Amino acid sequence: MMTKQVEEILDEPHEQIVQRVCAIDVGKDSGTVCVRVPAASGTGRRVSKVWDVPARTRAVLGLAAQLSDQGIEKVTLESTSDYWRIWFYLLEAHGLDVQLVNARDVKNVPGRPKTDKLDSVWLAKLTEKGLLRPSFVPSAQVRQLRDYTRMRADLTGDRTRYWQRLEKLLEDALIKVTSVASRIDTLSVRDMIEALIAGQRDPRVLAGMARGRMRLKHADLVESLTGQFDDHHAELARMLLHQIDTLTDQIDVLTARIEALLARLPAGNTPDPDRPAPDGQTRPGTRANAPADEAAQRRTPPTAADMIKILDQIPGIGPSNAQVIIAEIGLDMSRFPTAGHLVSWTRLCPRTIQSGKRSTTGKTGKGNRYLRAVLGEAAATGGKTQTFLGERYRRLIKRRGKLKTIVAIARSILVIIWHLLANPGTTFHDLGVDFNDQRIDIGRRTRNHVRQLEALGFNVTLTAAA
């Protein structure tokens, strides 16, 4: 009987026994602190001390000083809403090693009482045995940049909702201009709405305000602008336009602030020109061997502004999307040893479920919704291009459907981004539309076609084309 080869699995860097730990069960108004240290008797037993600390700046700073005096090596916080921030920020600023963990990973075993005291003790026990995976928390500068990009995304969504409300108002006034115009936020439609608010009701005059190619739709515009727009519609439309203009001004301010923060953001790790790809192969979407005259440039880590220009070369990604990507994952890829770690953190790969001989895949999960949104948008846009990603999109959508294809393309884009960020100085190089066609085994495909025709009863004679 043959024995299978023994597989050796190494521990993760965080999986180590810690002697002096602290765990905090976070709440809105206070936190339950548990400190686990070796007993003073020297018998090898462990001692847990539990007490409550108010979630206030002075109280947390006092706790930080107390933990430092006790020689606490690691502090664990449970990610509860946004209540963990005051604890993480202040304890980290005091020089303590703080890790944030997902509440799903620290759930207590069933059948035991559920109290804040027992939860903090359980969290401390998991911490000392290295059984927790720390969550990714970027640096303070990246967190500040992330606040601006997320606020811009939220305000952009709010502005879209106001445009939708305005369109609904026009439908109530029997104005069907959005059935003729491609979008409601075009300059031509804006001029027509402003004229309607000012009191102009003649549809021919309103249709004459069309610009560019919309002038060719004059007859349709006249019909669509014939309605029952009255004074109360005008008052409500003015309110909606005011909200839209206010949000637009705020979005412009946020964009300027984001560009200023990116200019001050420090560069990532110093690149290693001789560092090979993790799999020993050519990195997808990047140039395999940089010329000798680029060696000096590769030794200097590029700034955030340089990375924006490099990421902008990827099909589907623009400057705005690149800003969001850097704000969500930062420039330092040391927290993600491989591209697979980053993909798994973003939840762009299905969960593997294996039991016995049966292996299935689960759902991808939620992940970072801001990062997933821009990657999904980039995947949908890149799928329309004549590039490697566009051809990959068209190949997959035939058998996997649109939603799964977008997730697959988003994952490919994220892998490219990881290689570009983990190896500063590496340039993006599109593999081309015919990348897969060049790797087709012509002989194998010919044999398959001949075998299929013979199975249908045909005699096949192959003649080379002229």
Highest mean pLDDT among 109-113, 366-370, 403-407: 403-407
Highest mean pLDDT among 1-5, 37-41, 66-70, 159-163: 159-163
User: How many domains in the chain?
Assistant: 3
Q: H-helix or E-strand containing 38?
A: strand 30-38
Compute the average pLDDT of residues 373-382: 92
Say how far apart CA 140 and CA 146 lie, in whole Å: 10
Together in a domain, 176 and 243: yes
Compute the average pLDDT of residues 146-174: 94
Together in a domain, 123 and 149: no
Over 60: is that where the pLDDT of 1 sits?
no
Together in a domain, 98 and 65: yes
Over 90: is that where the pLDDT of 413 sits?
yes
Q: What is the pLDDT of residue 172?
A: 92
Q: What is the pLDDT of residue 280?
A: 39
Question: In this structure, is residue 274 part of a structural domain?
Answer: no
Over 90: is that where the pLDDT of 167 sits?
yes
Q: What is the pLDDT of residue 252?
A: 95
Q: What is the pLDDT of residue 334?
A: 83
Q: What is the pLDDT of residues 20-36, one digit of tens each?
A: 889 998 888 888 999 98
Together in a domain, 100 and 158: no
Q: What is the pLDDT of residue 279?
A: 43
To the nearest whole percent, how much of the chain has pLDDT over 70? 88
Together in a domain, 178 and 91: no
Structure tokens at 108: 């207590």
Q: What is the pLDDT of residue 282?
A: 40
Question: In this structure, is residue 287 part of a structural domain?
Answer: no
> Domain ends where: 245, 263, 281?
263
Question: In this structure, is residue 395 part of a structural domain?
Answer: yes
Compute the average pLDDT of residues 293-312: 69
Tell me the pLDDT band of 4, cut-offs 50, 70 and 90.
low
Together in a domain, 45 and 111: yes
> Domain ends where: 230, 263, 296?
263
Q: What is the pLDDT of residues 95-152, one digit of tens each?
A: 898 989 887 777 766 667 778 888 888 888 888 888 888 888 888 889 899 999 999 9
Q: What is the pLDDT of residue 337?
A: 86
Task: Find the CATH number of the domain harbouring 98.
Answer: 3.30.420.10
Report the half-sphere exposure of 216 (CA within 13 A, side-chain side): 2
Q: What is the pLDDT of residue 295?
A: 47
Together in a domain, 259 and 156: yes
Look up the domain containing 92 and give its range.
21-135
Question: In this structure, is residue 83 part of a structural domain?
Answer: yes
Task: Find the CATH number of the domain harbouring 208.
Answer: 1.10.287
Say how far apart CA 377 and CA 371 lie, in whole Å: 10
Together in a domain, 317 and 348: yes
Together in a domain, 183 and 247: yes
Report the half-sphere exposure of 109 (CA within 13 A, side-chain side): 5
Say how far apart CA 132 and CA 396 lie, in whole Å: 37
Together in a domain, 52 and 94: yes
Across 82-95, b (16+ Cβ under 10 Å) vs e yields ebbebbbbbbbebe
Together in a domain, 244 and 348: no
Distance separating the N- and C-terminal Cα atoms of the chain = 58
Q: What is the pLDDT of residue 331?
A: 86
Q: Do residues 413 and 387 lie in contact, with contact meaning Cβ atoms separated by under 8 Å?
A: no
Q: What is the pLDDT of residues 182-191, one digit of tens each?
A: 889 889 999 9
Query: 98 versus 266: which is more confidently predicted?
Result: 98
Question: In this structure, is residue 430 part of a structural domain?
Answer: no
Q: What is the pLDDT of residues 350-365, one digit of tens each?
A: 877 777 777 777 777 7
Together in a domain, 319 and 380: yes
Question: In this structure, is residue 283 part of a structural domain?
Answer: no
Question: In this structure, is residue 384 part of a structural domain?
Answer: yes
Over 60: is that where the pLDDT of 278 sits?
no
Average pLDDT taken over every residue of the chain? 84
Over 70: is that where the pLDDT of 173 sits?
yes
Query: 398 versus 292: which is more confidently predicted?
Result: 398
- DSSP-assigned states of every residue in 186-205: SHHHHHHHHHHHHT---HHH
Q: H-helix or E-strand containing 36?
A: strand 30-38
Question: In this structure, is residue 7 part of a structural domain?
Answer: no
